[in-house]
């Protein structure tokens, strides 16, 4: 058992609406989830790298559903936190993949969110 961490974008039809946790759940676990999935990674439970990943992105790892809409301010805070941490090359590669996708999607005006569960 482990922690699944996914990054999704909000469908265009929902961008101008109030988005609640039920909407995020439907996007992450609905039939069209692959259309909105931007990135995915997994850590085994107890893996210390998982807590470093979570610390960089300020997310909560759980096997129950946790959602966090990510904004440009979150991106900048994650980049700042990363500069203060000692991260091995393998984990740094995973983190940078997510950071690059986050920056690109937010610059395109997308609304994105993390799903942990």
The DSSP line for 25-77 is: HHHHHSTTHHHHEEEEEEEETT-HHHHHHHHHHT----SS-EEEEE-HHHHHH
Q: Confirm whether pTM is higher than 0.85.
A: yes
Count of structural domains, the chain = 1
Residue 115, pLDDT > 90, answer yes
Encode pLDDT of 78-89 as tens digits. 999 999 999 999
* Mean pLDDT (whole number) for 60-64: 86
44 beta partners: 2
Give the domain range for residue 54.
Answer: 2-116
What average pLDDT does the structure give for the chain?
92
Q: Any idea what the CATH number is for the domain that residue 92 is in?
A: 3.40.1760
- Most distant CA atoms of the chain, gap in Å: 41
Cβ-based neighbour number of residue 106 at 10 Å: 18
């Amino acid at each position: 058992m482990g922690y699944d961490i996914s990054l999704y974008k909000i469908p265009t039809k929902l961008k101008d609406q109030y988005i609640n946790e039920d909407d995020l759940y439907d996007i992450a676990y609905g039939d069209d989830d692959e259309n909105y999935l931007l990135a995915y990674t997994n850590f085994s439970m107890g893996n210390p790298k998982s807590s470093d990943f979570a610390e960089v992105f300020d997310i909560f790892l759980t096997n129950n559903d946790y959602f966090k809409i990510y904004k440009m301010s979150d991106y900048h805070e994650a980049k700042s936190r990363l500069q203060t941490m000692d991260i091995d090359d393998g984990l740094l590669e995973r983190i940078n993949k997510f950071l690059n996708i986050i920056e690109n999607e937010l610059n395109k005006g997308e609304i994105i969110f993390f799903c942990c569960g």
